[in-house]
Chains A and B, each alone.
Chain A
């Protein structure tokens, strides 16, 4: 009787969705490494990977195979358990954040069954993302600490302090957004950004919260440990920072988790500020095609926007030099947090005196 009471089709539906999303985010992350090398090469008037397959498209696979076959080294003085836990945690949290991103509108089948293109529509979606992302820092911290290497330790200390400083500004900038939307659920936030233009103003949150968006974007760079804030792994100062002692697939996990994070963060940024899967004239399109096709179009729109965001992250990385550590802290504590607070105050004032 217990087995009968479980909605098996629901579980199967979610399992398929989870594997597709996991596969897609891993696939996008794989090719983000290729894209990054290509973008870097083009910006420096080079060609980038071009030998493995057409346009070097097999390069990420070759890199992956290489990492798998490398010798696995655990230093004698390292804490073995934490040393292995570090990259696992980094990878795990990177993949976990994708659970609450709404990838497209729900599909209503003829049988009346509604398939949501979101693994879990929890009503505290944003908080969940923040929680998972902050746990991701532990992966870096544990890995750097367990390596028993001064460079790794420096890298992980930097990662921890950087994450703490920038999470504050990120959270406060988001509070202003949440005051406008009035909900923490990502699905609800996307629904509020329906279409592109309504009542004489853009529906996308970036037009309602431009300052909040810029603060959030800068903090996202810091959270992702990407240039110009890639201090935890600053090659020119700390050898390779927190993953100095890592080799083989454990190193691969760290590098890969960074790109999975990049993809998920871009997707969340798009969801929060650029309307998620919404696009201009979507109501006209929805009226002309079947619901399944419409959902696929929406998913593709979200993916396109996400890839544009990833490209933007890459352009920035290859344009701006790395911040010095004190500059990073100055920017975080003396500029971004006050700005975010002011943004929150202005938003509150507008909501009380203008919108009401």
Chain B
């Protein structure tokens, strides 16, 4: 029969020779290997101080975007919620009233916008579905927390800070 790989090695069941039974040469050989490793660079990355770069296509926590004038771009059309395979997004729409033009870009806006980060699978379909460039996946990860409730991120958690507002 033809061999599938060339990796097969027959088990050596010969009794050990005298030199092998002495153990000491083998132990010295082993010591050279382990002591050699002392001088190698450790593979550890000391996490909070050192961080690995994310991949360019990394999909992390969502952000809700604003336009150049600092107005919310989201119009609560619901396409992101519709596209979401995990059904993590929920929203409530509201109509923009007079005097709120500096807050919302379109006549309709999201009064409530929530993403359940425990349901979310970070697939990025909401980002692709959004016609207004309102939602993006950033390069951060969700913080650990003690309660499930704290993983439901509302609009305040998701919106990026207004560039025109000075704090």
Contact = CB atoms under 8 A, between A and B. Distances in A.
Given A214-B24, A319-B27, A320-B27, A47 B44 contact: yes
A214 B24 CA distance: 10
A46 B46 contact: no
A318 B30 CA distance: 10
A50 interface: yes
Contacts of B46: 47, 50
Contacts of A47: 42, 44, 46
Q: Which among B24, B30, B38, B46 has the highest number of chain A CB atoms within 10 Å?
A: B38
A55 to B, nearest CB: 13
A320 B30 CA distance: 8
A46 B30 CA distance: 19
Nearest to A321: B30
Interface string B2-30: 00000000000000000000001001001
Assign chain A's interface to a size class: 10 to 19
B43 interface: yes
B31 A316 contact: yes
B1 interface: no
Given A46-B42, A50-B46, A315 B35 contact: yes
Interface of B is mostly: helix
A43 B27 contact: no
Contacts of A46: 42-44
B34 interface: yes
Contacts of A43: 34-35, 37-38
Contacts of A319: 27, 30-31, 33-34
A110 interface: no
Q: Which among B27, B42, B43, B46 has the highest number of chain A CB atoms within 10 Å?
A: B42
Interface in B29-59: 30-31, 33-35, 37-38, 40-44, 46
A78 B44 CA distance: 43
A44 interface: yes
A42 interface: yes
A83 to B, nearest CB: 38
A42 B37 contact: yes
A231 B24 CA distance: 20
A39 interface: yes
Contacts of A42: 37-38, 42
A45 interface: yes
Contact of B40 (A45, A316, A318, A320): A45
Contact of B31 (A41, A44, A50, A315): A315
A318 B33 CA distance: 11
A42 B37 CA distance: 7
A179 B31 CA distance: 33
A351 to B, nearest CB: 26
Contacts of B27: 316, 319-320
Contacts of B44: 45-47
10 contacts: A42-B37, A42-B42, A45-B40, A45-B41, A45-B43, A46-B42, A316-B31, A318-B34, A319-B27, A319-B33
Given A42-B37, A43-B35, A319-B30, 11 more contacts: A41-B42, A45-B42, A45-B43, A46-B43, A47-B44, A47-B46, A50-B46, A214-B24, A316-B31, A320-B27, A320-B30
The 7 closest A-B pairs by CB, nearest first: A42-B38, A319-B34, A47-B44, A43-B34, A319-B30, A47-B42, A45-B43
